[in-house]
Structure 1
Amino acid sequence: MTLFLIAMAVVIVLILIEIPVAFAFGIGAVLFAYTTGNNISFLIPHGFKTASGFALLALPLFIFAGLLMAEGGISERLLNFVNAIVGRIKGGLGAVTVLTCALFGAISGSSSAAIAAVGQIMIPRMIREGYPAGHATALVACSSVLALLIPPSIPMIVFSITGGISVGAAFLSTIIPGIILTIVYCLLNIWFLRNDPNIEVAAPLPFKEAAKGVVKTGQSAAFALLMPLLILGAIYSGIATPTEAAAIAVMYAIPVGLFIYKGMTLRSLGSVTVRAVTMTGSIMAVLFFLFIMSRAMILEQVPRDLAQSLLQITENKYILLLMINLLLLLIGMIVDDISGSVLAAIIFLPIINELGIDPIHFAAVVGVNLGLGNVSPPCAPMLYMAGGVSKLSLDRYIKPTLKFLVFGHLPMVFLVTFVPELSLFLPKLLMGY
């Protein structure tokens, strides 16, 4: 246990001094294996075997689908459709941003892809219409983590594979929390801006004219709206596995982007492919070293020792859940959502099993906590990515971010943690879990 904590401390220090995450975990894995006497040449094949599993193939495919969606004009159609519904109320453009991030999560499963696709369009647009720049940046950053909760979520895929639980059930566990958080963010956005005199609001349209606008943009966005239905319908009807559904998403997004919406050319398709390969390569490098470290941890019985250490502090399930929540939040602050989901499965699932807590319930707890951590300073990878899009300094958007987190995301963490039925209702209803 001591050697593991030293290895993790080294990883954290390396990440904080901006060593690439993959290299930081690689050094930590080699250090831990060497100091515990494990043969690294024995651990490497395990890393390759786990990283090359069929189920994990969904990860690069969903990344590719998300980038195709952004490049092909699918995200823009979604924005226009949602804007036609709620865009003509004060704060409506912010609600459009939140809802579109949720819809984008239902296709790409990636927070960073949501910021890249939605943030680049909506942050400048909100600022032009009088929204405070810091508020616009914070809203996109906080809404982006809805992609962790609205399936198909890439971190949930990785968590399920690492923990050996049902991917479909883990997907379903976060849907209700994701929908509730989407509504909460929309309402908070409208409430925070209620007295701002600078926000431009388009004049309300007569009902018939507004309905025509919704129908027109809905027709334009039909192929975009069909995409999440196609993906999730294929998974939950049993027609396709999550990996096969990811392949369907790619095969669907390419012709839609090229020939229907015409937002993409063959040249840009090549560019998107290169970006997807690059992003996948960096993620797989991180996962490879995490899988090596996880194998060494299991051989050294670190998860069991950690479980016993926590149980020696208290056997009260609720206090232990609060402690685990805090640790998950710290993990989310330091590493990205995918790395955090692997660490959560490796370190905490044995403790959860010891406490008699349902692992599918815990999947939802991991999702909401990592989402909170990813936009919470000091590291906050999604928050800084949104700041990079708006080109603002941290002091401009940290206050509105904290308001969204304290009044929106943090209560959701406690709700999901202490009301298990919130995450278990759909798995029981649809899968007989």
Structure 2
Amino acid sequence: MGITIFISFAILLILTVPIGISLGLSAMIAILIDGTMPIEFIMKELTTAANSFPLLAIPFFILAGEIMGKGGISKRLIAVAESLVGSVTGGLALTAIVTCMFFAAISGSGPATVAAVGSIMIPAMVKKGYDIKFSTAVVASAGSIGVIIPPSIPMVMYGVSGSVSIGDMFMAGIIPGILVGLGLMVYAYYYAKKAGYKGSTEKASLSNIGKQIWNAKWSLLIPFIILGGIYGGVFTPTEAAAVAVAVGFVIGAFVYRELKLKDLTSVFVDSALMSATILIIVGSATGFGKLLAMEQIPLKIANGLLSLSDNKIIIMLLIIVLLLIVGCFMDTIAAIIILTPILLPIAIQVGYDPIHFGIIMIVALAVGFITPPVGVNLFVGSSISGVSLEALSKAIIPFIIVMTIILLIITFIPVLSLVFL
């Protein structure tokens, strides 16, 4: 059954069948050929896998991101970021990255971050003479921070799959997310310096920074409400996601008054489509993963990997290479559900903390957001700017290298992830 499921899955991916459907169909094909299990197994997993209280956080965080994008929150975050770094060489590129970091702290989704920030920043950068490929690559790569800085949908999935605290995962992602943002800013500054992209003529001043922070005070308050409520024991991460929806709606509709009644239809439709896609992947991947576990494939892979070396560093490098390759071809949620039961025991066996390994896994898979052929941030960025995926894939290479370097730093300096725990 193991060989059948992998071969059918590979064929379906080559035929460009969507990842959620590929996972479910390959599991069904394996069951039909093997003949020892009822086909109802997959149908059951599709429903029972989604019947989880922690997973309710996913549609809520998606809805919160859509509401905040339409409610004027992203515009005010951009103004704060520009007041901080806009006058520096390559100021608009740095502003885009800082804004993505801000938005990551209230969203939880990489594509949502790219859409909310890119729709404003990419045209602004191009208008100021920035290369359109570079502009799109900046926002697409910075959007990956959306799943590293908490709240994070992949962190919710890892917490469920690995039976670890989602709250601890959120806390552990803060410094790694900031490090990824800083790394991208360093490269953006270097590129801007070489290309001659100047900053704004208005110099940074405490008065202007204070003014923009005051104007965006409600937007900046959202991360403190979400994370403060979780760590203060006021509500769970799932309840925090629902609170984020309520707070985002109140701020967008009644404080900023930019979220109109006519906008709600598209907000709910887009959120429902994205949530349904993710939950189909969750159900299919859970069934797929259980079949692998029944065939003891995770155990065989773990033993095979450990037999290659007993060196902790080499094993972790092999895992990172595997995650980077998987990220090129598989959706992040599916990869977490399938690979966590396989890789987490290996990481624990060689001495890695489960929370630290979760951050390593999510940062590695975040690189997959900007690596073709499945890099979803590339598709979102391309749809905003009109740059072809081929051209964007070339422009994104330096950012992939930067993120990989930061990933290695996070991997081999555990305190960066565990300092707040």
Q: Normalized against structure 2, the TM-score is what?
A: 0.95
Question: 2:200 & 2:165 partners in 1: Cα distance?
Answer: 46
**CA-CA distance at 1:292 after TM superposition:** 1.1
Q: Deviations over 1:124-150 (max 9, x none)?
A: 110111111111111111101101110
Residues 391, 8 of structure 1: CA spacing in aligned structure 2 closer, same or farther, 3 A cutoff? farther
Question: 1:8 & 1:252 partners in 2: Cα distance?
Answer: 44
**CA-CA distance at 1:355 after TM superposition:** 3.0
| Residue identity opposite 1:65 in structure 2 | A
| Residue identity opposite 1:409 in structure 2 | M
**CA-CA distance at 1:326 after TM superposition:** 1.1
- The question of whether the paired residues in 2 share the 8 Å contact of 1:307 and 1:354 is answered with no
SS state of the match for residue 379, structure 1? Answer: coil
- Counterpart selection for 2:229 from 234, 256, 274: 234
Number of the residue aligned with 1:430: none
Q: Which moved more, 1:324-333 or 1:347-356?
A: 347-356
Q: Which moved more, 1:14-23 or 1:291-300?
A: 14-23
Number of the residue aligned with 2:411: 417
1:284 is the counterpart of 2:279: yes
Q: Deviations over 1:304-339 (max 9, x none)?
A: 121112222222222111111111111111122222
- The question of whether the paired residues in 2 share the 8 Å contact of 1:303 and 1:351 is answered with no
| Residue identity opposite 2:404 in structure 1 | L
| Residue identity opposite 2:38 in structure 1 | N
Residues 9, 80 of structure 1: CA spacing in aligned structure 2 closer, same or farther, 3 A cutoff? farther
SS state of the match for residue 49, structure 2? Answer: helix
Number of the residue aligned with 1:8: 6
Number of the residue aligned with 1:28: 26
Question: 1:98 & 1:310 partners in 2: Cα distance?
Answer: 37
| Two-structure CA RMSD over aligned residues (Å) | 1.8
1:19-98 map, 5 Å? 19-36=17-34, 37-98=36-97
| Residue identity opposite 2:106 in structure 1 | I
Question: 1:4 & 1:108 partners in 2: Cα distance?
Answer: 37
**CA-CA distance at 1:240 after TM superposition:** 0.9
SS state of the match for residue 310, structure 2? Answer: coil
| Residue identity opposite 1:289 in structure 2 | S
Q: Which moved more, 1:81-90 or 1:152-161?
A: 81-90
- Counterpart selection for 2:342 from 329, 343, 347: 347
Question: 1:186 & 1:382 partners in 2: Cα distance?
Answer: 18
Number of the residue aligned with 1:400: 395
Residues 385, 228 of structure 1: CA spacing in aligned structure 2 closer, same or farther, 3 A cutoff? same
Question: 1:423 & 1:230 partners in 2: Cα distance?
Answer: 22
Question: 1:239 & 1:422 partners in 2: Cα distance?
Answer: 26
1:260 is the counterpart of 2:259: no
Residues 4, 120 of structure 1: CA spacing in aligned structure 2 closer, same or farther, 3 A cutoff? farther
Which runs of 5 or more residues in structure 2 are unaligned? none
| Residue identity opposite 1:103 in structure 2 | F
| Residue identity opposite 1:95 in structure 2 | L
Question: 2:6 & 2:174 partners in 1: Cα distance?
Answer: 32
**CA-CA distance at 1:4 after TM superposition:** 3.0
**CA-CA distance at 1:6 after TM superposition:** 4.3
Number of the residue aligned with 1:371: 366
Residues 226, 201 of structure 1: CA spacing in aligned structure 2 closer, same or farther, 3 A cutoff? same
Which runs of 5 or more residues in structure 1 are unaligned? 428-433
- The question of whether the paired residues in 1 share the 8 Å contact of 2:45 and 2:283 is answered with no
Number of the residue aligned with 2:150: 151
- The question of whether the paired residues in 2 share the 8 Å contact of 1:111 and 1:148 is answered with yes
Question: 2:253 & 2:17 partners in 1: Cα distance?
Answer: 38
Question: 2:314 & 2:355 partners in 1: Cα distance?
Answer: 20
1:387 is the counterpart of 2:396: no
Number of the residue aligned with 1:204: 202
Residues 95, 13 of structure 1: CA spacing in aligned structure 2 closer, same or farther, 3 A cutoff? farther
Residues 121, 102 of structure 1: CA spacing in aligned structure 2 closer, same or farther, 3 A cutoff? same
Question: 1:9 & 1:387 partners in 2: Cα distance?
Answer: 32
Number of the residue aligned with 1:426: 420
Number of the residue aligned with 2:127: 128
**% identical aligned pairs:** 34
Residues 397, 364 of structure 1: CA spacing in aligned structure 2 closer, same or farther, 3 A cutoff? same
- The question of whether the paired residues in 2 share the 8 Å contact of 1:304 and 1:351 is answered with no
Q: Deviations over 1:32-52 (max 9, x none)?
A: 334453333245434422311
Question: 2:41 & 2:192 partners in 1: Cα distance?
Answer: 58
**CA-CA distance at 1:154 after TM superposition:** 0.3
Question: 1:80 & 1:9 partners in 2: Cα distance?
Answer: 50
- The question of whether the paired residues in 1 share the 8 Å contact of 2:110 and 2:369 is answered with no
- The question of whether the paired residues in 1 share the 8 Å contact of 2:331 and 2:374 is answered with no
1:156-171 map, 5 Å? 156-171=155-170
Q: Which moved more, 1:83-92 or 1:128-137?
A: 83-92
Q: Normalized against structure 1, the TM-score is what?
A: 0.92
| Residue identity opposite 2:63 in structure 1 | F
